[in-house]
Homo-oligomer: A and B are copies of this chain.
Amino acid sequence: MSEKSSWIEVPDHSDFPLENLPFGVGKRLNGTVSVYTRVGDMAIDLGAMVACDLLADPRFSGRDLFQTDSLNAFMGSGSSVWSAVRYRLTELLTAGNPEFRDAEDNKHKCLVPVSELTMQIPSHIGDYTDFYSSIEHATNMGKMFRDPENALLPNWKHIPVGYNGRSSSIVVSGTPIRRPLGQTKADDADTPSFGPSKLFDIELEMGFFTGPGNTLGEPIPIDKAHEHIFGMAIVNDWSARDIQKWEYVPLGPFLGKSFGTSVSPWVVTLEALEPFRVQGQPQDPPVLPYLQTSRPGAYDLELEILLKTPKMSEGHRICRTNFASMYWSMSQQLTHQTSNGTNIRPGDLYASGTVSGSTEDSFGSLLELTWRGTKPLQLPSGEERKFLLDGDEVIMRAWGEKDGLRIGLDEVRGVVEPAGD
């Protein structure tokens, strides 16, 4: 049970009690697009609330934060505005307050069942950066593709290793993902060939959207980094392992990743996730001073992956892991990104890299779960899977649970479509 309650019903085990108040962009059946928050299964149209004078605070009224098709402006407005909006929403939605609850006309204008909204990508993503911050994942990759005896590369414990991803192909949960065509080369072949990827994989990642940006040339110090993080979402970094393997030396992953990246639609603020902030993994050897902070930066969030083939009526859990296992924190990732002066802009997306735990059922990719296809997953339908087949659906979920409070990020899902011609 949550501490506070809302006059909007919150089903048991909902990801969205009054303490959550995530933000997303939704389109109504009539085509209107606006910024929304959510309590239980009811979405609340913040653009309509502005029009109804329910969000009249001078800190956020009169600015085009909500009657718009993205969260960029709101993300860029900074933590005092984010908090003020959440404070006002909490006030209006609390059980005992009649101001909004009893205003039928305003409720009619502002409340929409989530089922009647088509959620959109939360922001116009200027740049997308994907990190590689799980020590278990990096070690597994090194064991499988490089040297099992020296699986972790020399730079890994010094640098939150990452790369620039593709922004254009980031899609919201529910968007089908077409199996990519690409160049691959079999180990025993002399020359590469071109065709549909045969090793279609997933990567379970947590992402964050940036808040206010910095000026080009002016790094964000580690103790300020969290002020530049708006909130989190779940990311499925779909990966074509055969394309990736042939292309990635020396300039890194490219077409093995860029055919599609899925994000969950409701961005949960760091403020809402504060009860789940914990000390991260010990970093040994110590990191360089620009990455050192005494502020705990990990988040105790449970994660799971479900796989549903066309023969199955419901998803089967194939992974259960925890985001607090990450070696590098979001603040360290952001500070490292800007340490050379790179500027971030509000609404940029950062992904953590695959979240893998230390046990075989806590790996965040099929590559690791099936150990490169050598240990196929056995599904309740009697089927087995090494990698994804056409029609397979993947669902990833994330939530925190503590002292009776559950704050969730809902899910990101996507179905594999057959390759084109």
Cβ-neighbour of A251 out of B253, B339, B341 (below 8 A): B253
Closest approach, in angstroms, between the C-beta of A314 and any C-beta of chain B? 27
Contact between chains at A167 and B341 (CB < 8 Å): no
Query: Interface digits, A248-259 against B, CB 8 Å rule (1 contact, 0 not)?
Result: 111111111011
Residues of A in contact with B, size category: 35 or more
Contact between chains at A260 and B168 (CB < 8 Å): no
Query: Interface digits, A320-352 against B, CB 8 Å rule (1 contact, 0 not)?
Result: 000000000000000011011111110010000
Q: Does A193 contact B (CB under 8 A)?
A: yes
Contact between chains at B217 and A178 (CB < 8 Å): yes
List B contacts of A343 (CB < 8 A): 168-169
- Do A180 and B341 form a contact, CB below 8 Å, given A251-B163, A254-B162? yes
Query: Interface digits, A155-166 against B, CB 8 Å rule (1 contact, 0 not)?
Result: 100110111111
Contact between chains at A253 and B252 (CB < 8 Å): yes
List B contacts of A62 (CB < 8 A): none
Q: Which residues of A contact B (CB under 8 A)?
A: 126-127, 132, 146, 153-155, 158-159, 161-169, 171, 178, 180-183, 185, 191-194, 213, 216-219, 240, 243, 246-256, 258-260, 285, 288-290, 336-337, 339-345, 348, 417, 420
Other 15 A-B pairs with CB < 8 A, given A126-B168, A158-B191, A249-B250: A132-B251, A153-B249, A154-B185, A161-B251, A163-B251, A178-B341, A183-B339, A194-B288, A194-B289, A217-B420, A240-B340, A248-B252, A251-B252, A251-B253, A260-B341
